[in-house]
Amino acid sequence: MEDSRIIKTEYSEEMQKAFIDYAMSVIIARALPDVRDGLKPVQRRVLYDMYELGIRWDRPYRKSARIVGDTMGKYHPHGDSSIYDSLVVMSQDFKKGLALIDGHGNFGNIEGDGAAAMRYTEARLQKVTQEAFLGDLDKDVVDFAPNFDETEKEPVVLPVRIPNFLVNGSEGIAVGMTTSTPPHNLCEVIDAMKAYMMNENITTRELMRYLKGPDFPTGGIVTNKDELLEIYETGVGKIKLRGKVEYEKTKGGKTNVVITEIPYTMIGANIAKFLSDVAALVETKKTQDVVDISNQSSKEGIRIVIELKKDADAENFVNLLYKKTRLEDTFGVNMLAICDGRPETMGLKQILKANVDFQYQVATRKYKNLLAKETERREIQEGLIKACNVIDLIIEILRGSRDRNMAKACLVEGKTEGIKFRTRESKIMAAQLMFTEKQANAILDMRLYKLIGLELEALINEHEETLANIYRYEDILERRDSMAQVIINELDGYKKEYGRKRRTAIENAEEAVYREKEIEETDVCVLVDRFGYIKTIDTATYDRNREAADAENRFVFLCKNTGKVCVFTDTGQLHTIKVADIPYGKFRDKGTPLDNISNYNSEKERIVSITSQTELNLRQVVFVTAQSMMKIVDGGEFDVSKRTVAATKLTDGDRLVSVAALLEQRNVILQTKEGFFLRFSVEEIPEKKKGAIGVRGMKLGPKDEVENVYYTMVLDNASISYREKEIVLNDLKSGRRDSRGTKIRV
């Protein structure tokens, strides 16, 4: 390779330039809409291609695959799936405030089912799209640019006559920025636009007398009305949404909670997620009011029915749904669009200004074009009328000329040389005609039937109409008020034909407050077997089955049903569980795995101790690890609100082997794997915080570790069996903490 073809550059600079180029391409040419027509490039190209293919609202549907293929081949050199997805979304009236495409076939539904493959579905333009989005393309009202391979021309922007950016909203993710604009009501947007045209100094607050707020196609309720003003002034904020709920009484006296409208953010898979979230509330015992839940939604609309128990508080239950599910959600607003060739976050007034300015530009180009055509038509009409008045002379010129050019020269320039005239007077008159070139061509192309009296009268009437049009177009172009009135009249026409009532209610709602049912406090017995299954039974049942319960379960203790259970594991973690979340039942019920109701993971950690939080609060707790690190911690430190916290700090490779609450014990006995026993006073163990490692309890051999920990009182004959040898713990030699201990030989 020649040196002249090698470009040496700094790698970081090249990467920076390449990334900026890519980012700008994504921002300008793919992800963000233009504020003038509210369309992303792919949407604009699909609509223009359908217009070019003649797939109008009053013509037969055409296969979506044909539209997608033609768009991709001519205008949008990207994946066919992105083009088809765009076509599908523009046809879904549950996503768009104003559907732009009329889809025929399976175009998906509000519950998240996708559209059928493009080879099966068909589409055509909606009437509003043809009239308000593509209607004036033939009048040179917008600029055209070459397509990607410069074989076709495509519009830079569509001549959209309504503020589509507000009506349909937009969502897109670019590089380093996103756009998220909610849809609005067409009638309100048009009214706000008219108000701005009448008074460009109008404030956002005054504009919101006309445009109340977003109007989602799914309905629902906006609950933060007072915050909307700031959102529309800045273009950024959060809209709080709720679904619409109705209450239906059944014959048995029960109440059904019926959701008839959902938040816009729940569209698609989130409906199924909502149903599973309600089921989860029942499973985790957050509520015990639900009898049944069913999704009865259909083409007529959303209908999700939740059947409640007879004595249930329906309003309180709905507040629980608002707090714990997406029945109440947030729509993040960031009204970002391409304005004057660059991305900009705009408030309501800025968006309306950009749209009004665009309407004036489109109207100016349209009426200049129409004026030029009418002026040309007037010139020809005047020529034809003049010709009809001297038709005999015209015929004489035509009959006396050798060819068309000779006749045309006579009509335009008065040249009579070579033309045979009947009289000298005719020749003199012919030299004075002086038609324009366009008039002469029209006269030479005129057919004889135009000389019929009625045709001549029609020509005169047409000329008068042309003069009226010219006067009207000149007035529109010269006077801004006249142009404004024309734009307003068009907007009123679209409002009358395509407007609909608002679907989304806007109000100030109080924050949902869920009141948990007060549980009558009572004592229960917690049982945890060796497999990690947990359950609670009443104390009377435990008293009747005490011997079996103690023998069959690893942990058994009493606590209040309003309290919490603390689970300490060998990894040093503390998992807390509400007693109310533990299954309550009969003595022989299996219970539920701890994994299911807590963050405990039986595959990664082992249970060291389980006790009630109330008991811990009243005690001091001794921690012992495999590497013999020890400490005493005040039990109150474990009264935490989080479900999982670190109960102690461990060194690398260490694990927790014992957690015990101190009652009246005075001696602690450490037993190692290699058979060393060390008995010393509990008073030698220092009190530390739970985040401390502690102090060494006994000296260990190279591969030895603490296996068991025992506690005794002063006068205590408790014994253990160690390798088939019975050992009375208090008979062991008393030593001091951090010593080797005594090896028991068997």
Name the residue among 340, 362, 357, 359 with its Cα closest to residue 28.
340
583 band by pLDDT with thresholds 50, 70 and 90: confident
- pLDDT tens for residues 134-174? 988 988 899 999 988 899 999 999 999 999 999 999 888 77
Print the SS3 string covering 157-188. Answer: CCCCCCCHHHHCCEEEECCCCEEEECCCCHHH
- Judged against a pLDDT cut of 70, whether residue 353 lies above it is answered with yes
pLDDT for res 591: 87
Q: Which CATH class is domain 357-498?
A: mainly alpha
Q: Over pLDDT 70: what percentage of the chain?
A: 96
Name the residue among 648, 622, 620, 623 with its Cα closest to residue 635.
620
Strand ranges (E), 656-718:
656-662, 667-672, 676-681, 695-696, 706-712
Q: Report the SS3 class of residue 125.
A: strand
Name the residue among 581, 598, 582 with its Cα closest to residue 590.
582
- pLDDT tens for residues 664-692? 888 999 999 999 999 999 999 999 999 99
Q: How far apart are CA 412 and CA 357, in angstroms?
A: 44
pLDDT for res 23: 60
Q: Report the SS3 class of residue 242.
A: strand
- 693's CB contacts (< 8 A; 6+ apart) are 629, 631, 648, 649, 650, 651
Residue 179 near residue 171, CB atoms below 8 Å: yes
Written as one letter, the residue type at 410 is: C
- Judged against a pLDDT cut of 90, whether residue 43 lies above it is answered with yes
| Backbone dihedral angles phi then psi of residue 489, each to the nearest 5 degrees | -60, -40
- pLDDT tens for residues 586-639? 888 888 899 988 999 989 999 999 999 888 888 899 999 999 999 999 998 998
Q: How far is CA 571 from the centre of its chain?
A: 40
**Active site positions, annotated:** 120
Q: How far apart are CA 100 and CA 92, in angstroms?
A: 9
Q: What is the β-pairing status of strands 255-261 and 244-249?
A: antiparallel
pLDDT for res 298: 85
Measure Cα distances from 492 to 93, 188, 479, 495 in Å.
Answer: 22, 11, 20, 5
11 band by pLDDT with thresholds 50, 70 and 90: confident
Q: Average of pLDDT values for 725-738?
A: 89
Written as one letter, the residue type at 711 is: Y
Q: How far apart are CA 182 and CA 471, in angstroms?
A: 42
Q: Which CATH class is domain 523-743?
A: mainly beta
Name the residue among 411, 396, 413, 419 with its Cα closest to residue 444.
411
pLDDT for res 1: 42
Residue 535 near residue 589, CB atoms below 8 Å: yes
Name the residue among 43, 21, 25 with its Cα closest to residue 34.
43
Name the residue among 581, 584, 573, 579 with its Cα closest to residue 614.
579
- Judged against a pLDDT cut of 80, whether residue 274 lies above it is answered with yes
Question: pLDDT averaged over the chain?
Answer: 89
Q: How far apart are CA 694 and CA 630, in angstroms?
A: 5
Annotated domain spans of the chain: 15-181, 244-326, 357-498, 523-743
Q: Average of pLDDT values for 292-296?
A: 91
Q: Which CATH class is domain 15-181?
A: alpha beta
Q: How far apart are CA 5 and CA 375, in angstroms?
A: 58
Angle between helices 41-53 and 80-91 (to 10 degrees): 80
- Judged against a pLDDT cut of 70, whether residue 268 lies above it is answered with yes
Q: How far apart are CA 621 and CA 101, in angstroms?
A: 70
- pLDDT tens for residues 303-313? 999 999 888 88
Q: How far apart are CA 255 and CA 482, in angstroms?
A: 60
Q: How far apart are CA 737 and CA 562, in angstroms?
A: 40
Q: How far apart are CA 505 and CA 185, in angstroms?
A: 12
Q: How far apart are CA 187 and CA 360, in angstroms?
A: 20
392 band by pLDDT with thresholds 50, 70 and 90: confident
Q: How far apart are CA 708 and CA 657, in angstroms?
A: 7
Q: How far apart are CA 20 and CA 176, in angstroms?
A: 11
Sign of CA dihedral 44, 50, 52, 54: negative
- pLDDT tens for residues 423-435? 788 777 878 888 8
Residue 324 near residue 280, CB atoms below 8 Å: no
Q: How far apart are CA 254 and CA 87, in angstroms?
A: 45
Determine the Cα angle at 552 with ends 551 and 554, to 5°.
90
pLDDT for res 162: 94
Q: How far apart are CA 168 and CA 100, in angstroms?
A: 9
CA dihedral 304, 305, 311, 316 (to 10 degrees): 10
Q: Report the SS3 class of residue 235.
A: coil
What is the CATH number that goes with domain 244-326? 3.30.1360.40
pLDDT for res 293: 92
